[in-house]
Amino acid sequence: MSQQSYELTAEARERVGKGSARALRRSGKIPAVIYGDKKPPLSITLPYKEVFQRIHAGGFRTTIATIDVAGEKIQVLPKDYQLDPVRGFAMHVDFLRVGRNTVVTVNVPVHFVNDDKAPGIKRGGVLNVVRHEVEFTCPADAIPDFIEVDLTGLDIGDSLHISAVKLPEGVKPTITDRDFTVATIAAPAGLRSEEAEGGEAEAPQAEGSEE
């Protein structure tokens, strides 16, 4: 998991609506809802400061949390949150209940390793990251911190596809209709410009050989 599991203390919220939500925020709280696991949605309020810190600490949407509502401890996974577009403060959070067999869809960061073992990068090639994150389905209690992509042996012009990435057990990409590209090794700018100039220089020669 991206972080160690944590616990938040919440209060059940009877009143809903924009007016109620604004009043909560003014009092240092944030409205939220817990849904899923074949149970009715539960509207709650949480301490704003704690939620804001969790959101900005990293790994918020890939870390299972426990929410204590009047003594009932509910395991959840943050699924979404809303930020004020101007001031950037948190406005609302959605949590998914996590059961024993819950499978979730999450975006997992991509980490690249062994760039020193990639001939293309040694020759001045540039790692072109096509996907900084990949969307996966996986068990809620086995969300990886990241997936590791090995660049060993890649040369200029090579592409690395998801089929070449070793994934943890139970972790599957949501895109299943194609072997999508995760990264490529692009030629350095100097080499590309030399190739372009070479192509322009060859054009008059080809015309002359036809005369």
DSSP per residue over the chain, as a string? --S--EEEEEEE----SHHHHHHHHHTTEEEEEEEETTEEEEEEEEEHHHHHHHHHTS-GGGS-EEEEETTEEEEEEEEEEEE-TTT--EEEEEEEE--TT-EEEEEEEEEEE-GGG-HHHHTT-EEEES-SEEEEEEEGGG--S-EEEE-TT--TT-EEEGGGS---TT-EES--SS--EEEEEEPPHHHHHHHHHHHHHHHHHHHHHH-
Rounded Cα distance, 67 and 96, in Å: 11
Length of the chain: 211
Tell me the mean pLDDT in the region 195-201. 54
H or E stretch at 84: none
Q: Using pLDDT thresholds of 50, 70 and 90, give the confidence band for residue 195.
A: low
Q: Using pLDDT thresholds of 50, 70 and 90, give the confidence band for residue 211.
A: very low
Looking at residue 24, what is its pLDDT? 80
Equal fold, 6-99 vs 105-194: no
Least confident of 17-21, 53-57, 160-164: 17-21
What are 59-104's pLDDT values in tens digits? 898 899 999 999 999 999 999 999 888 888 889 999 999 987 899 9
- Flag whether pLDDT at 41 surpasses 70: yes
For residues 30 and 20, the answer to whether their CB atoms sit within 8 Å is: no
Which residue has 């539960």 as its token pair? 42
Which residue has 């950037």 as its token pair? 88
Query: Percent of the chain having pLDDT more than 70?
Result: 86
Query: Percent of the chain having pLDDT more than 90?
Result: 64
Looking at residue 200, what is its pLDDT? 55
Q: Using pLDDT thresholds of 50, 70 and 90, give the confidence band for residue 206.
A: very low
Q: Using pLDDT thresholds of 50, 70 and 90, give the confidence band for residue 135.
A: very high
pTM over 0.85? The answer is no
Nearest C-alpha neighbor of 68 from the set 49, 95, 89, 92: 95
Which residue has 């209690």 as its token pair? 141
Looking at residue 5, what is its pLDDT? 83
Rounded Cα distance, 134 and 106, in Å: 8
Check: CATH 2.20.28.10 for 105-194? no
Rounded Cα distance, 174 and 54, in Å: 26
Q: Domain-by-domain residue ranges, the chain?
A: 6-99, 105-194
Q: Which CATH number fits domain 6-99: 2.70.70.10, 2.40.240.10, 3.40.50.970, 2.60.40.10?
A: 2.40.240.10
Rounded Cα distance, 6 and 66, in Å: 6
Looking at residue 202, what is its pLDDT? 53
Q: Is the dihedral of CA 144, 67, 93, 79 positive or negative?
A: positive
Tell me the mean pLDDT in the region 43-59. 91
Determine how β-strand 39-47 pairs with β-strand 29-36: antiparallel
Rounded Cα distance, 145 and 106, in Å: 11
Tell me the mean pLDDT in the region 151-180. 96
